[in-house]
Structure 1
Amino acid sequence: MREDFLHYVWQHQYFDKADLRTAAGEEIQVLKPGHRNADAGPDFLNARLRLGEVEWNGAVEIHLRASDWARHQHQTDPKYDQVILHVVGQHDADVARTNGSLIPALALQSRLAPELLARYQALVDAPAAAPLPCAPLLNLVPEITRTMMAERALLERVERKADDVMALHQHLGQDWEATAYHALMAAFGFQKNSEPLARLAKALPLSVLRRHRHDQRQLEALLFGQAGFLVENEETTTDEYIRDLRQEYEFLRHKYSLVATALAVHEWNYLRLRPANFPPVRLGQLAGLLHARPALFDALLTAHSVAALAEFFQAPAPAYWRAHFRPGRPGKVPGLGKSSIDLLITNVVVPLRVAYARYVGQPSLVESSVALLSELPAEHNQYTDVYEALGFAHRTASDSQGLLALHKNYCAPRRCLHCSIGSRLVQQPRVAR
């Protein structure tokens, strides 16, 4: 049994309440179990209990064993002085507040229904290789429960991404244009090169790029120079384009004191990438986009459809980067593909718009931004395929994002009791479809 099971049991009051008493024999009446605390401090806040003849309002702390109180150093933490009841699986020690006053304890292990614990253990003890802990039991869960849980996971995923955007926005001095620039740069790395492209955004501030956005040659010199792609080697010795950019970059990097922040060639990843995904190709596409779309944030915010956003992202790369996979190495390069644009809308546009909508208090913009995902095709990978095979709806990117969140935040870490599906199975072993 894990502690999260006791949290679940206390929250829903799934235990025998007959002759409910503390470890010291005092009668307990639970008037209100309190609400879960997502921050530091006791597990449940604003609980209301009657202990003997006295009514108490305060917090409830939960542990598998009462002795965990001391192991977690709660006896020295003033935040836990508000605890009015210590709910435990086993009562193996008395505990006290910082002033030495004892805290009443309620031991639950003998009050748990064996079948409830057995259903919980069946989920959390599922083999690590099992795709979903509840896979053999899914036919017992109504389809609407599965659908609503996937939708909940989707919204949580979007909110977390929006939180990341808000943190970036705060770090950048609440500049939405700079926020869009940094988010877009990182996303153009498409996982393999997201980290170096994020560092490139820091190494080349938008304030510098803004001064040269209308001069494509200078814009390319800054981007490729700071990325470390303008070094001279055997492939670029006779390449006039690279030589010209190098000369321009030498002037600009001294003008803006950029020398110390530049990346090196070895910091970029090429392993297991198709040439169309090589970092210089992606950077060329970014150069074309930054030159053709000088107001990034406004354009991403005001586009009302996936079609409008697709048109935004289809700005042509500079001619050289439509014909070279890397400096000095020619080859026909395709433009930014539809699947890449779909990922950019999913991972940049939607979170950016949701973050802004929360910032200015526009709930309708949150809804319309999330709705964009329903216009995009479903993403198929090793995770979504498992859920689809088990009967989960998987028609659009909205479904894909929900299933990915379900896997990452609930199924993989075995957080079954936090999931509506797992909670339903623990409560009722036989549920009609």
Structure 2
Amino acid sequence: MRGGTILHELNPVLYPVMQEDFLHYVWQHQYFDKAALCTEQGDEVVVLRPGYRNSDAGPDFLNARLMLGDVEWNGAVEIHLRASDWHRHQHQTDRKYDQVVLHVVFTADQPVRRTDGTIVPVLALAPRIAPSLLAAYEALMSGPAPEVLPCAGALPAVPELTRLMMVERVLMERVAEKADAILELHEQAGHDWESTAWLALAAGFGFKKNTDALTQLAQALPLPVLRRHRHDLRQTEALLFGQAGLLPVASESPDDYCRDLRREYDFLAHKYSLVGQALPAHAWNFLRLRPANFPTVRLAQLAALLHAQPRLFQPLHDAPDVAALEKLLLLPLSTYWQTHYRPGVPAAAKVAGLGRSSAQLLIVNVVMPLRVAHAKSIDNPAGVEAAVELLNQLPREQNRVLAPYEALQFRHRTAADSQGLLALHRGYCQPRRCLHCAIGSRILQRNLPANSTR
């Protein structure tokens, strides 16, 4: 049946998880039967160029070249599951869609028109997509639980090289994302790399649970003030703990050291106009943290680093390898914080400084992105490569997210592999973006009929 009547109904029982992304994928790669290809209006269709994906507002594919009957058209292609989605999305009133020369749909359930009332040619793909491809897509989209890869059952058929290349690709996506965040900080810091390093390092010392609070603290405590007093560890701790809102007033201080820090902070806060800018104590998260990870301990570790380093950016940027960076980060705490987890609360055992595993996380999440961001800012590809190489000097991470990938024989030797697999999980496997993944694409390709062409 032609002329806008229902030709193929999108059956929610047969295709409960189909999304437009699948039709984008099919159209982009031309994975459908082109024999006697014609529109619902009866015009022969020859695809000379499918067009280019549009990431902005407007039609899905731009600059397509098509033969519709005897006429060659250059224009846009819009894709929907049902033709009626054209009206549901109000395209009939949007002039951006007047450039559409072909409306590609899974099912054609009604005719659609441009703003001037002219009919848009419709191509229905439902009878032209191989059942095997549909079944493979369905399996990926509705497969196992999130902690298991959606493609787990089909992975043995995927070449190891495809896996390796995909993990390397998403690693660089993750690195770029982290570096872009640093470049945003650099912008906020007035293009000063020293202040950028301070902001990034402070956030890193939050180790997720207290990242927001430490970010706020770094913004509320200017680096020039800290640098002016870095020679005196007691004053450095007074500034950090006081501005963090973690020092009781002097009259309520639990011991002489806390009382001394409070008095010192009150004096410095008045001197540098910090009064009233301290964080509230409730901004800090102690819940479900081991004492060694308490924000008070992290602040003491940060104070030790600020005290030991006249500058932050240059040492972090110039350290030749991971061993040098660990030496820079692994510092003993002040005498008081070696015996306390919280102000006035003695610890049962000696409190250690920053641990090696924490130092390695800082290298992954702060130092490497900081170096990549700097290299990008001066257009230095070799610097980017050298920064990423730090990950290959670090041991792999071990956690419940990465365990299924190890079980499925993904390569996992270094932190570079860990970061790549985490990026794969969070960016592709967990949200089931299989159509955008080289592994998922390879699985779908194996389910194409032998005569399918791009």
Q: TM-score range by the shorter chain?
A: over 0.9
**Contact between 2:132 and 2:447, CA under 8 Å: does it hold in 1?**
no
Residue 345 of structure 1 corresponds to which residue in structure 2?
363
The one-letter amino acid of 1:257's match is: S
Match of 2:120 among 88, 96, 103: 103
Is 1:273 the counterpart of 2:273? The answer is: no
Note the alpha carbon deviations across 1:336-375, whole angstroms, 9 max, x for none. Answer: 1110011001111111211222221111111111111111
**Contact between 2:331 and 2:353, CA under 8 Å: does it hold in 1?**
no
Match of 2:184 among 148, 167, 182: 167
**Contact between 1:286 and 1:317, CA under 8 Å: does it hold in 2?**
no
Q: TM-score, normalised by structure 1?
A: 0.93
> Aligned-pair distance for 1:76?
4.1
Is 1:133 the counterpart of 2:178? The answer is: no
Closer, same or farther in 2 for the Cα pair 1:205/1:92, shift >3 Å? farther
Note the alpha carbon deviations across 1:199-225, whole angstroms, 9 max, x for none. Answer: 111221224323333333332211110
Higher mean C-alpha displacement, 252-261 vs 329-338: 252-261
Higher mean C-alpha displacement, 225-234 vs 189-198: 225-234
**Contact between 1:44 and 1:61, CA under 8 Å: does it hold in 2?**
yes
Match of 2:384 among 360, 363, 366: 366
Match of 1:375 among 372, 381, 393: 393
Is 1:388 the counterpart of 2:406? The answer is: yes
Higher mean C-alpha displacement, 174-183 vs 344-353: 174-183
Is 1:405 the counterpart of 2:443? The answer is: no
Distance in 1 (CA, whole Å) between partners of 2:75 and 2:190 is 39
Is 1:259 the counterpart of 2:275? The answer is: yes
Instruction: Give the gaps of 5 or more residues in structure 2.
Output: 1-17, 449-454
**Contact between 1:235 and 1:328, CA under 8 Å: does it hold in 2?**
no
Higher mean C-alpha displacement, 49-58 vs 113-122: 49-58
> Aligned-pair distance for 1:378?
0.5
Is 1:34 the counterpart of 2:51? The answer is: yes
Note the alpha carbon deviations across 1:16-52, whole angstroms, 9 max, x for none. Answer: 1122222222222211112223333332233222333
Residue 211 of structure 2 corresponds to which residue in structure 1?
194
Match of 2:80 among 63, 80, 83: 63
> Aligned-pair distance for 1:6?
0.5
**Contact between 1:43 and 1:60, CA under 8 Å: does it hold in 2?**
yes
Residue 338 of structure 2 corresponds to which residue in structure 1?
322
Residue 245 of structure 1 corresponds to which residue in structure 2?
261
The one-letter amino acid of 1:92's match is: D
Closer, same or farther in 2 for the Cα pair 1:40/1:365, shift >3 Å? farther
Higher mean C-alpha displacement, 214-223 vs 404-413: 214-223
**Contact between 1:289 and 1:317, CA under 8 Å: does it hold in 2?**
no
Is 1:52 the counterpart of 2:69? The answer is: yes
The one-letter amino acid of 2:239's match is: L
Residue 139 of structure 2 corresponds to which residue in structure 1?
122
The one-letter amino acid of 1:389's match is: A
Closer, same or farther in 2 for the Cα pair 1:365/1:79, shift >3 Å? farther
> Aligned-pair distance for 1:12?
0.7
**Contact between 1:140 and 1:429, CA under 8 Å: does it hold in 2?**
no
> Aligned-pair distance for 1:119?
1.1
Residue 130 of structure 2 corresponds to which residue in structure 1?
113
> Aligned-pair distance for 1:101?
4.4
> Aligned-pair distance for 1:129?
5.1
SS in 1 for 2:273: coil
Distance in 2 (CA, whole Å) between partners of 1:124 and 1:154 is 23
> Aligned-pair distance for 1:60?
2.2
Closer, same or farther in 2 for the Cα pair 1:93/1:207, shift >3 Å? farther
Note the alpha carbon deviations across 1:321-344, whole angstroms, 9 max, x for none. Answer: 222211112231111111001100
- Over the residues paired in the alignment, what is the CA RMSD in angstroms? 2.1
SS in 2 for 1:95: coil
Instruction: Give the gaps of 5 or more residues in structure 1.
Output: none
Note the alpha carbon deviations across 1:163-214, whole angstroms, 9 max, x for none. Answer: 2222222233322222211111111111111111111112212243233333
Q: How many residues align?
A: 429
SS in 2 for 1:383: coil
Distance in 1 (CA, whole Å) between partners of 2:71 and 2:210 is 62
Closer, same or farther in 2 for the Cα pair 1:45/1:355, shift >3 Å? farther
SS in 1 for 2:77: strand
Note the alpha carbon deviations across 1:92-119, whole angstroms, 9 max, x for none. Answer: 2333444554433221111111111111
Residue 158 of structure 1 corresponds to which residue in structure 2?
175
> Aligned-pair distance for 1:56?
2.9
SS in 1 for 2:79: strand
Closer, same or farther in 2 for the Cα pair 1:255/1:26, shift >3 Å? farther
The one-letter amino acid of 1:427's match is: Q
Residue 292 of structure 1 corresponds to which residue in structure 2?
308
Note the alpha carbon deviations across 1:140-162, whole angstroms, 9 max, x for none. Answer: 11111111111112111111111
SS in 1 for 2:317: helix
Closer, same or farther in 2 for the Cα pair 1:42/1:295, shift >3 Å? farther
The one-letter amino acid of 1:274's match is: R
Distance in 2 (CA, whole Å) between partners of 1:323 and 1:307 is 28
The one-letter amino acid of 1:360's match is: I
Residue 180 of structure 1 corresponds to which residue in structure 2?
197
SS in 2 for 1:307: helix
> Aligned-pair distance for 1:234?
9.7
The one-letter amino acid of 2:320's match is: H
Distance in 1 (CA, whole Å) between partners of 2:256 and 2:67 is 84
Is 1:74 the counterpart of 2:103? The answer is: no
Higher mean C-alpha displacement, 167-176 vs 372-381: 167-176
Distance in 2 (CA, whole Å) between partners of 1:230 and 1:130 is 42
Distance in 1 (CA, whole Å) between partners of 2:132 and 2:200 is 49
The one-letter amino acid of 2:80's match is: H
Higher mean C-alpha displacement, 380-389 vs 144-153: 144-153
Distance in 2 (CA, whole Å) between partners of 1:423 and 1:350 is 31
**Contact between 1:275 and 1:325, CA under 8 Å: does it hold in 2?**
yes
Closer, same or farther in 2 for the Cα pair 1:77/1:227, shift >3 Å? farther
Closer, same or farther in 2 for the Cα pair 1:232/1:255, shift >3 Å? closer
**Contact between 1:32 and 1:47, CA under 8 Å: does it hold in 2?**
yes
The one-letter amino acid of 1:279's match is: P
Closer, same or farther in 2 for the Cα pair 1:43/1:352, shift >3 Å? farther
